[in-house]
Structure 1
Amino acid sequence: MSQSRTVSLFRNGRNQAVRIPVEFELPGDEATIRKEGNLLIIEAKAKKRGLLEVLHEMQPQAPEDAFPEIDDDHLPAREVDL
């Protein structure tokens, strides 16, 4: 069940601002706001994840997605002078 409260609107320079009650406080320093009809929807801005966080969340690849075996029939590699 969603909660609702009456809040105060005020001016902050040329902008209209809303005082958000503590029970509706969003994490972080930034939020995204959008207008849908006569509704204003405010969402916490998603935290950017680091590469290590993303890698830890990845699932291991299934064996059928593994790299193919290397053929041993090919000629051996030779040294190249550059």
Structure 2
Amino acid sequence: MYMPDLEVNMLAERHVRLFRNGRNQAIRIPREFELAGNEAIIRREGNRLIIEALQRPSLLAFLATCKPSDIDFPDIDNLLSLDDVVF
């Protein structure tokens, strides 16, 4: 008999050991709890430590939040060609 809720609950908790890494206390994160990316946010809530993967928005998500610009860009036909630019 397959019980998906039992399988999820079994992965929701795992006993781990704390250790020292130089002057920092550290923990090895088991594979089933790995976070995406290279950075995370950690905060304390009472006796709990909450670790969340840092979710950076994609460029498209960022651009979707931007308001239209009021800048008048020059007409492309009026720009110098690269042959006329002196370096």
TM-score where L is the length of structure 2: 0.56
1:42 aligned to 42, 51, 55, which one? 51
Q: Does 1:19 find its partner at 2:12?
A: no
The superposition leaves residues 31-78 of structure 1 with CA deviations (integer Å, 9 ceiling, x where unpaired) of: 00000000000000012321x3444x57xxxxxxxxxxxxxxxxxxxx
SS at match of 1:16: strand
Question: What does 1:1-80 correspond to in 2, within 5 Å?
Answer: 2=9, 3-50=12-59, 52-55=60-63
Q: RMSD of the alignment, in Å? A: 1.9
Identity of aligned residues (%): 59
Q: How many residues align?
A: 56
Give 1:38's aligned amino acid. N
For structure 2, the 5+ residue unaligned runs are 1-7, 66-87
Q: Secondary structure at the match of 1:6?
A: coil
Q: Per residue, is there more helix in 1 or in 2?
A: 2
**Structure 1 unaligned spans of 5+:** 59-82
1:8 Cα deviation from its structure 2 partner: 1.8
Runs of 4+ in 1 over 2 A off after TM superposition: 52-55
SS in 1 for 2:35: coil
